[in-house]
């Protein structure tokens, strides 16, 4: 190290110290800029943040690149085609289940219209009640399609509770909940049997935090 050289003057040592600090600052700013760029251009913001955290803390994850499934006696390896086939398969299952249960499913629209005639508003949600429900959610880092985790919503609930309370009350009054807020992120998980067969996979679903709160409220 230069600073340990015995023949260096104090001015030289101070000069070295000064530029060491500048160098460290430049490195920090460059890393911050690169991380911001990585998050900005990522399709999944939450995932990108955790990639950075894991890299900085020295944690590594195993990313499987050998994705394979069997479809009509053909082995599919293209990740995009695999994703489309998964989506098609699980959507088809949902439609078949709906058809089987449709005859036994009560007509909720007619029931709601009867309730609406007898009362204008079921009840009014308050901001304090919403805040209590939000703070009762689990502290998980996974996120739904909006890429906003429960942890973030809980930390920002003071700022969010007013607009969210208004949205939920309008939903309660009209009997309508936005379809976009109901969309879940489905992740196929192998349980048993041949992992290349779609029928041997189960799905883990993650919905957005706003929907979780609505579910707890009873919407």
Across the chain, which has 219 residues, the per-10-residue mean pLDDT values are 66 83 90 89 80 75 63 80 79 70 55 48 79 86 81 88 90 83 78 72 80 83
Residue 206's contacts (CB-CB under 8 Å, 6 or more residues apart) are 142, 143, 144, 184, 185, 187
What integer pLDDT is reported at residue 115 of this predicted model?
45
pLDDT recorded at residue 78:
82
Whole-angstrom CA distances from 216 to 2, 28, 137, 146, 210 are 63, 43, 9, 19, 10
pTM of the model: 0.51
**The pLDDT of residue 106:** 53
Which residues, at least 6 apart from 187, have a Cβ–Cβ distance to it below 8 Å?
Answer: 203, 204, 205, 206
């Amino acid at each position: 190290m230069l600073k340990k050289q015995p023949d260096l003057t104090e001015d030289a040592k101070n000069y070295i110290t000064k530029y060491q600090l500048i160098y460290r600052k430049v490195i920090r700013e460059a890393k911050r800029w690169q991380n911001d760029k990585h998050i900005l251009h990522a399709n999944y913001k939450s995932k990108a943040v955790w990639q950075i955290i894991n890299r900085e803390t020295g944690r590594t994850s195993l990313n499987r690149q050998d994705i394979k499934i069997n479809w009509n006696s053909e082995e599919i390896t293209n990740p995009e085609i695999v994703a489309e086939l998964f989506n098609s398969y699980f959507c088809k299952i949902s439609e078949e289940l709906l058809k089987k249960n449709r005859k036994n499913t009560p007509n909720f629209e007619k029931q709601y219209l009867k309730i609406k005639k007898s009362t204008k508003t079921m009840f009014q949600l308050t901001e304090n009640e919403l805040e209590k429900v939000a703070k009762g959610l689990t502290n998980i880092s996974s996120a739904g399609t909006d890429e906003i985790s429960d942890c973030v919503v809980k930390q920002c609930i003071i700022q969010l509770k007013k607009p969210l309370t208004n949205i939920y009350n309008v939903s309660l009054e009209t009997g309508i909940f936005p379809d976009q807020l109901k969309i879940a992120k489905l992740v196929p998980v192998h349980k048993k049997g041949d992992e290349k067969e779609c029928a041997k996979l189960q799905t883990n679903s993650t919905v957005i935090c706003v929907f979780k709160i609505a579910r707890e409220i009873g919407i």
